[in-house]
Structure 1
């Protein structure tokens, strides 16, 4: 701890500086970033300040510049800064055993609401039917973008939207693309490639292993 020493009335006074905040960038978007400051998570837009006065100076898909204690500092995704310097957080991992029907099932959540996922590497995004979306409180008809998708029953209406968060085990991603499909198909909520592409994954002898990327 750094001290400024001053001799005053024969006494030695020590005035410590405040500890530097711990800052981590956990989500990147054009002109915005999700940051964690001393455990507090917040979405910041360029020019906006968050906990401990941390300000987002710029952000794109490659990284962000944050003003921490008056100093503009570049951050990559999930790169953590503290008073002791930079450190990479430990990778989060999850192993899923093959289950019923030879499929991989895993409990998780969407926007903090509990969900049972069917892992589907053939699905381009997280996908669900209208009833499942309604149960999760997703306002897909207002906030979603209309589109059409090909299903076994033919071409049906659907909506594309961005989920605030998708989590399985200790792996949580923010801003995940999803498709809400009219009718009753798919019967299960599919954990597709809009999530899987953003984590490391591999299959080994009947076990699917997911690992958070740095």
Structure 2
């Protein structure tokens, strides 16, 4: 019972939502873990360990954090996290994609007393403070911030020179694995690491902002998805 409540809490926090149809059964893949899957079958939630069978007759053959193999009516089906689809009724190995409706996401910021827009976010899952800079070409940070995030910029970055308020500084061009503010997230974002103390805040430039719709209305700035 404790395990069921814990896994259910994890599922709610991560908002997993993947729906499949298997030979007439509606299966909602709520969570996948090593040797365990949380499945809602025809509206009833079950936490199945490998080898166990639900009351509806769905047996869990194997499971990890990415996929589960289940057996029903003598047929095996692979259910995956990270995509949405339905297994064909005639051919159990054919996956027919389902395109979910896209959700509009946006973030509204208020100008601070110094005239700037700032926002908290993450780079590679590490929290940072961004200064929104629509005039900056890419996301830029100083080397101390990069080291805190764990970016090996000297090993993987491309050396270059940049001009700062302190003069010409050494810098490295890098690719940031993930950048996020609010509900807005991008992968593989171009960035730069400047050797020195500047910028004191991470500059959120157009390598991120350019992928979204940015609108300013007086002291308010809205960053949102384009659709």
TM bin, normalised by shorter chain, reads 0.5 to 0.7
How many residues are matched? 157
* Cα RMSD after superposing both structures: 3.1
- Structure with more of its chain in strand, by fraction: 1
Secondary structure of 1:87 counterpart: coil
Q: Which residue of 1 aligns with 2:52?
A: none
Q: State the shift of 1:153 in Å.
A: 2.8
What TM-score, normalized to structure 2? 0.60
Q: State the shift of 1:151 in Å.
A: 2.0
* CA distance in 2: counterparts of 1:189 and 1:150, whole angstroms: 16
Instruction: Write out aligned runs for 1:65-144 (5 A).
Output: 69=87, 70-71=93-94, 81-82=97-98, 86-144=99-157
| Structure 1 residue corresponding to 2:200, chosen from 187, 190, 200 | 187
Over 3 Å counting, the alpha-carbon distance change for 1:72 and 1:18 in structure 2 is closer
Matching of residue 156 in structure 1 with residue 156 in structure 2: no
Secondary structure of 2:199 counterpart: coil
Q: Structure 2: where are the runs of 5+ without partners? A: 1-19, 30-38, 40-65, 69-77, 88-92
Q: Structure 1: where are the runs of 5+ without partners? A: 4-14, 22-37, 39-49, 56-65, 74-80
* CA distance in 1: counterparts of 2:171 and 2:152, whole angstroms: 13
What TM-score, normalized to structure 1? 0.63
Q: State the shift of 1:132 in Å.
A: 1.0
* CA distance in 2: counterparts of 1:2 and 1:118, whole angstroms: 46
Q: Which residue of 1 aligns with 2:191?
A: 178
The answer (yes or no) to whether the contact 2:174–2:190 under 8 Å persists in 1 is: yes
